[in-house]
Structure 1
Amino acid sequence: MRRTAEDAEKTRLALLEAALMSFEEKGWRGATFEHIAERAGVTRGALNHHFRSKTELLSAALEWGWSSYGNRLFTADTADTVVDPAGWLTSLLVEYTTLLQDDPLFRALASTTVLVAPQVSGTSPDKTAALDGWRTRIADALAAVESIRPTPALSAETSAGMVLTFLQGLTVTAVTRPHDLPQPDDLGTAMSALVRGLLTM
């Protein structure tokens, strides 16, 4: 029976998810093709059909993960952020931190990014490209603040870089010291204070 393109895409997505979970659980060496295929519920041959090497699989999983979660986090149209840029940015930071704490796949993406990817030579810059897109979207949203603060101390681009640096810091913290992340009861207040400080500089 011939597989459809839809079936092939489902298999590919299952492999990407299984790869991230396996890399988090087993590390680079322990996450074998056999283990990843078994976790995805497919044969080793199916995995080989989609990815020629573990490095290629890692690169694809990182690019897919950061792009997919970026699409989820940036659901609001940039025009919507003009009304309340501080509220939008606070919501973004709260949702990102909540995902790190509650979403096993996002935590696996963070862990793989921080602990596995640096060990592997030859990984593509796709993850960086996805995060560059995040920076652009944040900068576009923060540019709306300039209508409120005609002479801001920091440009929207610089502020966006600071936000991205903070997000990356949250990612490292989630992997290395998760108990240091703001807890749910304080999360909204903590992020709101951070955004207020950033936008009033």
Structure 2
Amino acid sequence: MARRTAEEAAKTRDAILDAGLQTFAELGFAAAQLEEIAKRAGVTRGAFYHHFTNKADLYLAVLRERWAKVMAPVLDELRGPKKPKAKIRAFVCAFVRAVQREPAMQALMQMSLSGDTNLPEFHGSLSDKRDVLDALTRDLGALIDEGGRLGDGITRARAILIFLNGIAVSAALQPDSISAPPERFAELLLDGVLR
């Protein structure tokens, strides 16, 4: 019975995270109300407080956990037996595809662009983001250096990530601006960066 209870608790927490993502993306941190989040999740206020201490705690959990969930299949493209350039191309395509088609990615971009992460409650989360970005830069840089004698893998990795961030921001602000196939974006980016 305890296993079932743990599974139910995990489902409840997941529903709250999904409802939080949707609400924060639509309304921003300040306007989002716990009652609305609990209602969307189909839980009581008590259930909310069983999993999260307050709205800021939920906001940070949404950012951390939902980014990790959305990015997992994208990052998986950097692993496996393919050659380095093919891995990087697949990674870029997977990222663009997620930005174009994944509602959770789009909602996370809305949250990230809202400016809410500049609030005092979230100053610590910026170092988390830097750490994740630094690790991804190192991984991409190592793949670039492994793939040939281009050199300057870290700078090239940063160029790729800046390009992808630009795509994500453009998608959040002007969704039609990224309607080209992901492969076309990869071709344009990588022909320049990995030449």
Query: Which TM bucket (shorter chain)?
Result: 0.7 to 0.9
Q: Give the CA deviation at 1:52.
A: 1.2
The answer on whether the counterparts of 2:28 and 2:116 sit within 8 Å (CA) in structure 1 is: no
**1:1-201 correspondence to structure 2 within 5 Å:** 4-76=5-77, 78=79, 80-81=81-82, 83=83, 85-123=84-122, 124-125=124-125, 126-145=128-147, 148-149=148-149, 152=150, 154-184=151-181, 187-200=182-195
The answer on whether the counterparts of 1:28 and 1:116 sit within 8 Å (CA) in structure 2 is: no
Separation of aligned partners in 2, 1:62 and 1:77: 22
Matched letter for residue 35 of structure 2: E
The answer on whether the counterparts of 1:55 and 1:120 sit within 8 Å (CA) in structure 2 is: no
Separation of aligned partners in 1, 2:86 and 2:20: 35
Separation of aligned partners in 2, 1:13 and 1:127: 22
What's the C-alpha RMSD, in Å, of the aligned pairs?
2.2
Structure with more relative contact order (C-alpha pairs < 8 Å, separation 6 or more): 1
Cα distance change of structure 1 residues 72 and 47 upon mapping to structure 2, 3 Å threshold: same
Q: Give the CA deviation at 1:193.
A: 2.4
The answer on whether the counterparts of 1:73 and 1:96 sit within 8 Å (CA) in structure 2 is: yes
Aligned pairs, number: 191
Unaligned runs of 5+ in 2: none
Q: Give the CA deviation at 1:77.
A: 5.8
TM-score of the superposition, structure 1-length normalised?
0.83
Separation of aligned partners in 2, 1:133 and 1:16: 25
Q: Give the CA deviation at 1:46.
A: 0.9
Separation of aligned partners in 2, 1:21 and 1:179: 21
SS in structure 2 of the partner of residue 80 of structure 1: coil
The answer on whether the counterparts of 1:70 and 1:134 sit within 8 Å (CA) in structure 2 is: no
The answer on whether the counterparts of 1:62 and 1:127 sit within 8 Å (CA) in structure 2 is: no
Percent identity (aligned): 31
Separation of aligned partners in 2, 1:108 and 1:7: 25
Per-residue CA deviation, residues 35-84 of structure 1 (Å, 9 max, x unaligned), is 11111111111111111121111111111122222221122463524x2x
Q: Which runs of 4+ in 1 moved over 4 A?
A: none
Cα distance change of structure 1 residues 174 and 55 upon mapping to structure 2, 3 Å threshold: same
Unaligned runs of 5+ in 1: none
Q: Give the CA deviation at 1:18.
A: 1.2
